[in-house]
Amino acid sequence: MKLKLSRRQTMQMLTSLPFFHFSPKAVAFSHRTEQSEAVVLVTLNSPTSQAFAHKASSMLDSVQLVVDINQIDTFSSLNSLPKNILLIGLISEAEKILVDTFVQNRRGYLKTSGYLHEGNYTASKLDELLDASIQHAMGTSKASHTEVLGAGNLSSFFAYI
Amino acid sequence: MADFNILPQGISAQDFGNAIDEYAAVVGDDNVFVSAENLASYNKIMIPADNFDHAPSAAIAPASTEEVQAIINICDKYTIPVWPISTGKNFGYGSAACATRGQIILDLRRMNRILEVDADLGTALVEPGVTYQQLKDYLVENNIPLWLSPPAPSAIASPLGNAIDRGVGYTPYGDNFFFSCGMEVVLANGEILRTGMGGMPNSNTWQVFKWGYGPYLDGIFTQSNYGVVTKLGMWLMPEPPAFKPFVIRFPNDSDIEKAIDIMRPLRIAQIIPNAVVIAHALWEGGSEVVRSDYYQGEGSISDEAVERMKADLGMGAWNIYAGLYGTPEQIELNWNIVTGAFAGSGATIQEEADLVGNSTFDYRAKLMRGDMTLKEFGLYNWRGGGGSAWFAPVAQAKGSEGLRQMELAKEILGRYGFDYVAEYIVGWREGHHIIDLLFNRNDPEEAQRANQCFNELLDEFTARGWGSYRTNIAFMDKVADSFGTVKKDVNQSIKRALDPKGIIAPGKSGIYT
């Protein structure tokens, strides 16, 4: 499900949805289990980002939030998300900086898990980025507390609100 | 005792632990942050500098002036340095990070009350955590026909923070400090100073008369560390009956000379009253497309690639964004003057009707009428990698000066393999020459090169007498030095008088006790 909502609509929508869980259901958030099980996929309306979202949504019960620097309300929605939400996505640098800003305002944190060039991806590369995001989010990756070096105009990330 | 990752310089873990307990007694445990995870966001910087040098020891988030006073008193007791931020969105200048390692961040985001808006006088009184979006929403919800003048990050930035860092917006009220009126400041001794007319009990002219009586003090609390500004008065522009945005495009880089010389008298005479932007093609394109679509070679982008991008996007080498404000009759009259001034210059003039659906024009028009937009963040997609440092020398509003600065900046940036992503913001008699040094911060070699490039830009511009109006936290000492020893000594003397222990933001603008 893709979301393009106003700030007011977002809260209404999210509180009315059945909540989202990692799937397979056996996957838990290790020490974060109690903190968050809700997942929002943050994407661009671009082919690569959407391919990432498609792959992610096949693994995770989630909703999708499409962000765009030309539409300010797509970011404002992040102000209205309930607490204890996990965000995962593959977006450009500009959008990532803005998502990070909204996450910081909620006293959350965002970490980059990898990089990729738009239009230059393979299914295995998307798998790799998605896996890295999930592993980092679960705190099972040694790199989970450091920013990742690399190149590409899209960044995969995870964030907690 | 908590296990601290970083301690303020010269403070023992025992003392810091005691201080943290005392801060928590003031603001509550939930508003004191010491863990690496919670402090990470205060150490995210885009500039070419080492995060290590700008890492905080803690962050404290008060909710009132009284809590700020109490925190300052604790800092004074233990001699702990404290770095105030409003919303911490000073991207490309250091974001929320402190100038020197180990300071505690005084995060004023929770102080987010709009204390007063006077619709008749066009004034507002706000706290540091108020954002432009919040103030805009308030005006709209209360049907108050007043405009804001936000900088490009608009929605998420703080009017107070922008004004006291002497940032700019794009309406006729574009010089945000110039259009401020009255401050409340918590001094290092814990006292509260209200500037201008604000010190007088029962005064109702705090937000309408800047100068008060005796020395005018507001200026010393901007770009400084002499106190913590906890309230700011603002003048807001009445919505005009009509507004006409337009763009004037010149085809060649060297046309900056004509662009500034034709614009200057129109600005000084207030025919064009707003803070005009003369945006270079790479700023225009940089917020719209990505570099790798046009150029994948070594070094700075080729002229041929820039020409292709200009053709694709229908833009000039220089693009002047300006607006006319007033009644339709006034605008018609001034439009004739503007078009007459540019006739025969080789420029192309486009109005709103010529550019329906043009997202770049739309965002510029929004900024010129004080609306919220995040479009300019697109610049960070140009090169990718999250590196950005604003180089911001001031130029006389003379074409010859604009041309010389452009040529020097392009030459230096080119030698280091970076692009000239720049604009001039034309005030009345000067231009802020704003250059975004964009680089891949994930590449250590490139980040090091960006640091060296920024150093050389400062050296070469300083050698020619061109000073910066603002700089990032890693270069504040260097820029302070460029303004001479007497200025630096006076700054230090004021600091010693107002903050003898040097607890407020040591290193801000190169000022120490």
List of domains in chain B = 13-110 (3.30.43.10), 114-238 (3.30.465.10), 242-463 (3.40.462.10), 475-497+506-513 (no CATH)
Residue numbers of the domain that contains A80: 2-160
CA B228 to chain CA centroid, nearest Å: 18
Residue from B138, B294, B295, B469 carrying the catalytic annotation: B469
Confidence label for A109 from pLDDT (cuts 50, 70 and 90): confident
Q: Verify whether residue B295 is a known catalytic residue.
A: no
For residue A147, the chain B residue with the least C-alpha distance is B442
Cα–Cα nearest to B90, from B511, B508, B513, B512:
B508
- What does the block give as tokens for B244? 């006409």
Listed as ranges, residues in chain B with pLDDT below 50 are none
- Side by side, the strands of the sheet bearing B32-33 are B32-33, B58-60, B104-107, B82-85
Closest-CA distance of chain B to residue A127, Å? 22
Q: Give the span between the Cα atoms of B509 and B513, in whole angstroms.
A: 12
The sign of the dihedral angle between the CA atoms of B149, B154, B155, B160 is: negative
What percentage of chain B reaches a pLDDT higher than 90?
Answer: 97
The sign of the dihedral angle between the CA atoms of B350, B352, B356, B361 is: positive
Q: Please indicate whether, in this complex, the C-beta atoms of B133 and A151 are within 8 angstroms of each other.
A: no
Chain A residues in contact with B129 (beta carbon < 8 A): none
For residue A153, the chain B residue with the least C-alpha distance is B384
Residues of A with CB under 8 A from a CB of B: 69-70, 72, 75-76, 92-98, 100-102, 104-105, 107, 109, 115, 117-118, 145, 147-153
- Side by side, the strands of the sheet bearing A154-160 are A2-3, A63-66, A38-43, A85-92, A154-160, A109-116
Chain A residues in contact with B384 (beta carbon < 8 A): 92-93, 151-153
Say if residues A67 and A159 touch (Cβ distance below 8 Å).
no
Of A96, A101, A149, the CB nearest to B442: A149
pLDDT at A83 over 90: no
pLDDT at A145 over 70: no
Chain A residues in contact with B443 (beta carbon < 8 A): 149, 151
Chain A residues in contact with B37 (beta carbon < 8 A): 109, 145
Say if residues B350 and B244 touch (Cβ distance below 8 Å).
no
Q: Verify whether residue B294 is a known catalytic residue.
A: no
Tokens 């603001």 belong to B27
Closest-CA distance of chain A to residue B474, Å? 21
pLDDT at A8 over 60: no
* Interface predicted TM-score (ipTM): 0.91
The count of domains in chain A is 1
Q: Please indicate whether, in this complex, the C-beta atoms of B442 and A115 are within 8 angstroms of each other.
A: yes
Q: Give the span between the Cα atoms of B159 and B51, in whole angstroms.
A: 27
Q: Please indicate whether, in this complex, the C-beta atoms of A72 and B379 are within 8 angstroms of each other.
A: no
Chain B residues in contact with A105 (beta carbon < 8 A): 87, 109, 156
User: Which phi and psi angles does A94 have, rounded to 5°?
Assistant: -60, -45
At residue B2, the pLDDT reads 64
Q: Please indicate whether, in this complex, the C-beta atoms of B37 and A107 are within 8 angstroms of each other.
A: no
Say if residues B165 and B392 touch (Cβ distance below 8 Å).
no
Residue from B78, B93, B170, B363 carrying the catalytic annotation: B93
Chain A residues in contact with B38 (beta carbon < 8 A): 107, 109
**How many CB pairs (< 8 A) connect A and B?**
72
8-state DSSP, A33: T
Residues of B with CB under 8 A from a CB of A: 36-38, 40-41, 44, 87-89, 91, 109, 133, 155-156, 290, 292, 359, 363, 372-375, 377-381, 384-386, 440, 442-443
At residue A16, the pLDDT reads 43
Of A97, A147, A153, the CB nearest to B377: A97
Chain B residues in contact with A104 (beta carbon < 8 A): 41, 88
Mean pLDDT of chain A: 76
Q: Verify whether residue B449 is a known catalytic residue.
A: no
State the average pLDDT over residues A94-121. 89
Chain B residues in contact with A149 (beta carbon < 8 A): 442-443
Residue from B23, B416, B470, B512 carrying the catalytic annotation: B470
**Dihedral-angle region of residue A119 (phi above 0 means left; psi in -120 to 50 means alpha; beta otherwise):** left
Confidence label for A18 from pLDDT (cuts 50, 70 and 90): very low
Best B41, B134, B291, B295 member to test A by mutation, with max A CBs in 10 Å, is B41
Q: Please indicate whether, in this complex, the C-beta atoms of B36 and A145 are within 8 angstroms of each other.
A: yes
pLDDT at A30 over 90: no
At residue B226, the pLDDT reads 98
At residue B459, the pLDDT reads 98
Say if residues B267 and B337 touch (Cβ distance below 8 Å).
no
Say if residues B74 and B22 touch (Cβ distance below 8 Å).
yes
The whole-model pTM stands at: 0.92
Q: Please indicate whether, in this complex, the C-beta atoms of B41 and A109 are within 8 angstroms of each other.
A: yes
State the average pLDDT over residues A66-71. 92
